[in-house]
């Protein structure tokens, strides 16, 4: 069984279990279905699902679908697909916030009868004005002292659709002078005349999250409501709702720091804007920080959760280097990915002393890290492709690859010598004429001479053609939270975040690669067969790892 690292939330649970050994730990992940999940969501999923797993408890998926204007079935489906792919099984069940609308309404009536809620006619702008500031107390609404009977009648009229959007709200009656602005009579119901993706037109009033959240938690038996740090100042309202409704076994809310990653953004609103304006290739664009984007990029569930685990669980703000995520997938694929040959910048090589009609095969290891992975046969013929970076017409010092008059080892095959360059009319290289030492197939020269360089190659007549996409960071600025005043995300969008290599050549074994299958292209990096476009491979990450080893 995998070890689940301890953190401060587990310390809290350990103390709770000391006080009540019979407590059954129950957590939940409550995404709003108004966009696709991103890597920040993966942290919340990991914390909640792994906590339940560690203590033998239950983990719920609950869709927070209380805002019909922005939600839809597309996002509901995508959230479930992402959770399933990550392996975070909702062992406690799958629920919808909208399933609790009747109970939320009943509890709202209870609060009105208790004198703890009232119907307010202030507009949104007026409410903000009355709320006050961090240094000045708020002012009570002129509608705060309506009678219970009047509030009940008005709330019923709101439910029956007698008022337009924004005309009235139901507000909790708490304390307009509280230093916590969230307790200054927050709205708990608003009017929204929009069809709900599951409830249809049954409702035209909808509970706000801060009110619905604790009710949903209690009704599902959640013991530890774990959420990100921006909800810390909302916890007193969470507790107020629970206390004033009178739940006997109340859940408790605990907060952890959000996952912030360099060179990317976690704003679903901005990610949606990138999609809708066509600046990216959908929510699953491999440059996006979405779970489906990372999946299409070639990341694995284990590498994502490894990244989250290494980033740690704390309450203090921090920004995690994207290179740590790259390190996690690189470390995994180095041990698991089959090796394959690709030539991205091809130069034709003719081995002039090799028969034109001959093909032979050399066995190359599928993974040198794992001998049990076996070998595959790579065809060799008179005409080859090598990479342009492996030849220099005017070589720099200590250049150990191919040059005129120089020798190099073809990986797993012969040593060749370059004798002549054939050029095109524009001066570019058309072809290299070489000879092979045909006694050196898979062995050293008989005369004992040393050949320092080894390069990869492909048989020209057997290689297949493909497009290869190379990705860079989505944003040029490292910390997108530090954007200067007057600037926006768009000012730092990296216009060179993707480049496409057309007409790259790959070894023939990749002809049958399945979408989503990952490989190491030898001496280049780790790549995945694209799941959207045929004959396209996406670079997951390069070979070089500059991240400090732990």
Tell me what pLDDT residue 1 has: 40
How far does Cα 107 stand from its chain's mean position? 37
CATH number of the domain bearing residue 26? 3.40.50.620
Number of domains in the chain: 3
Contact 192, 68 (CB under 8 A): yes
Q: Does residue 427 share a domain with residue 331?
A: no
Q: Does residue 373 share a domain with residue 423?
A: yes
**End position of a domain, from candidates 203, 236, 256:** 256
| Catalytic-role residue among 54, 139, 144, 258 | 258
Return d(Cα 408, Cα 390) in angstroms, integer. Answer: 10
Return d(Cα 148, Cα 176) in angstroms, integer. Answer: 19
Tokens of 349: 């090589």
Q: pTM score, two decimals?
A: 0.92
Residue 262 lies in a domain: no
Residue 92 lies in a domain: yes
Tell me what pLDDT residue 249 has: 85
Handedness of CA 335, 337, 339, 343 (dihedral sign): negative
| Catalytic-role residue among 171, 190, 268, 340 | 268
**End position of a domain, from candidates 456, 480, 504:** 456
Q: Does residue 226 share a domain with residue 129?
A: yes
Q: Does residue 133 share a domain with residue 242?
A: yes
Q: Does residue 247 share a domain with residue 121?
A: yes
Q: Does residue 416 share a domain with residue 429?
A: yes
Residue 499 lies in a domain: yes
Backbone angles phi, psi at 42, to 5 degrees: -60, -35
Handedness of CA 31, 37, 40, 43 (dihedral sign): positive
Q: What is the mean pLDDT of each run of 10 residues along the chain (550 residues)?
A: 77 95 96 95 96 97 94 94 97 97 98 98 96 95 98 98 97 97 98 95 97 97 95 96 93 94 91 93 96 98 96 90 96 96 98 96 94 95 97 92 95 96 94 95 83 96 97 92 85 94 96 97 97 96 75
Tell me what pLDDT residue 282 has: 95
**Owning domain of residue 140:** 8-256
126 is catalytic: no
Q: How many CA atoms lie within 13 A of 129 on its CB side?
A: 7
Residue 401 lies in a domain: yes
Return d(Cα 268, Cα 516) in angstroms, integer. Answer: 25
First to last CA, the chain: 23
Q: Does residue 228 share a domain with residue 356?
A: no
Q: Does residue 130 share a domain with residue 55?
A: yes
Residue 537 lies in a domain: yes
**End position of a domain, from candidates 405, 423, 456:** 456
Residue 549 lies in a domain: no
Tokens of 306: 């490894």
| CA–CA distances in Å: residue 468 to residues 252, 296, 346, 522 | 50, 14, 13, 14
CATH number of the domain bearing residue 525? 2.40.240.10
Q: Does residue 430 share a domain with residue 524?
A: no
Q: Does residue 161 share a domain with residue 223?
A: yes
Task: State the residue for tokens 């009940």.
Answer: 152
Backbone angles phi, psi at 485, to 5 degrees: -60, 135
Return d(Cα 550, Cα 548) in angstroms, integer. Answer: 6
Return d(Cα 505, Cα 343) in angstroms, integer. Answer: 5
Residue 3 lies in a domain: no
Q: Does residue 173 share a domain with residue 202?
A: yes
Maximum Cα–Cα distance across the chain:
105
How would you classify the pairing of strands 415-423 and 407-410? Answer: antiparallel
Q: Does residue 329 share a domain with residue 351?
A: no
Tell me what pLDDT residue 489 has: 85
Residue 550 lies in a domain: no
Contact 311, 259 (CB under 8 A): yes
258 is catalytic: yes
């Amino acid at each position: 069984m995998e070890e689940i690292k301890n953190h401060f939330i587990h310390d809290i649970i350990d103390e709770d279990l000391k006080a009540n050994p019979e407590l059954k730990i129950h957590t939940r992940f409550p995404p709003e279905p108004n966009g696709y999940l991103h890597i920040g969501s993966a942290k919340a999923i990991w914390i909640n699902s792994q906590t339940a797993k560690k203590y033998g408890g239950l983990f719920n998926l609950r869709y927070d679908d209380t805002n019909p204007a922005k939600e839809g079935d597309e996002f509901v489906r995508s959230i479930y697909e992402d959770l399933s792919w990550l392996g975070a099984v909702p062992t406690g069940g799958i629920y919808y916030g909208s399933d609790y609308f009747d109970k939320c309404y009943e509890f709202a009536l209870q609060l009105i009868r208790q004198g703890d809620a009232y119907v307010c006619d202030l507009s949104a702008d007026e409410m903000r004005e009355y709320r006050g500031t961090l240094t000045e107390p708020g002012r009570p609404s002129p509608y705060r002292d309506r009678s219970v009977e009047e509030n009940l009648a008005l709330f019923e009229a709101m439910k029956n659709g007698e008022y337009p959007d924004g005309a009235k709200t139901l507000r909790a009656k708490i304390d307009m002078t509280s230093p916590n602005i969230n307790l200054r009579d927050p709205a708990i119901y608003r009017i929204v005349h929009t069809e709900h993706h599951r409830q249809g037109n049954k409702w035209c009033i909808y509970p706000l999250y801060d009110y619905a959240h604790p009710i949903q938690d209690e009704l599902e038996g959640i013991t530890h409501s774990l959420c990100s740090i921006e909800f810390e100042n909302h916890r007193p309202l969470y507790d107020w709702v629970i206390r004033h409704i009178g739940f006997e076994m109340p859940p408790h809310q605990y907060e952890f720091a959000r996952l912030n990653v360099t060179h990317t953004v976690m704003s679903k609103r901005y990610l949606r804007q990138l999609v809708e304006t066509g600046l990216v290739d959908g929510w699953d664009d491999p440059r996006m920080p979405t779970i489906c984007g990372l999946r299409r990029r070639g990341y694995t569930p284990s590498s994502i959760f490894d990244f989250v685990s290494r980033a740690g669980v704390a309450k203090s703000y921090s920004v995690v280097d994207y290179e740590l995520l790259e390190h996690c997938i690189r470390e995994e694929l180095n041990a698991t990915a089959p090796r394959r040959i690709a030539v991205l910048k091809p130069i034709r090589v003719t081995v002039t002393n090799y028969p034109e009609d001959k093909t032979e095969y050399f066995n190359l290891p599928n993974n040198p890290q794992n001998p049990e992975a076996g070998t595959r046969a790579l065809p060799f013929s008179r005409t080859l492709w090598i990479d342009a970076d492996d030849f220099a017409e005017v070589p720099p010092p200590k250049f150990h690859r191919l040059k005129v008059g120089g020798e190099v080892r073809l990986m797993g095959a012969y040593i060749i010598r370059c004798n002549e360059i054939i050029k095109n009319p524009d001066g570019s290289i058309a072809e290299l004429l070489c000879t092979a030492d045909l006694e050196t197939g898979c062995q050293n020269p008989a005369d004992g001479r040393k050949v320092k360089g080894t390069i990869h190659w492909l048989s020209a007549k057997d290689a297949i053609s493909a497009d290869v996409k190379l990705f860079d960071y989505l944003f040029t600025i490292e910390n997108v939270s530090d954007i200067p005043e007057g600037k926006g995300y768009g000012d730092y969008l990296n216009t060179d975040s993707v480049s496409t290599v057309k007409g790259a050549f790959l070894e023939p074994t990749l002809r049958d690669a399945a979408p989503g299958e990952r490989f190491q292209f030898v001496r280049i990096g780790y790549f995945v067969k694209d799941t959207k476009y045929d004959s396209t491979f996406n670079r997951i990450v390069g070979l070089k790892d500059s991240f400090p080893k732990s």
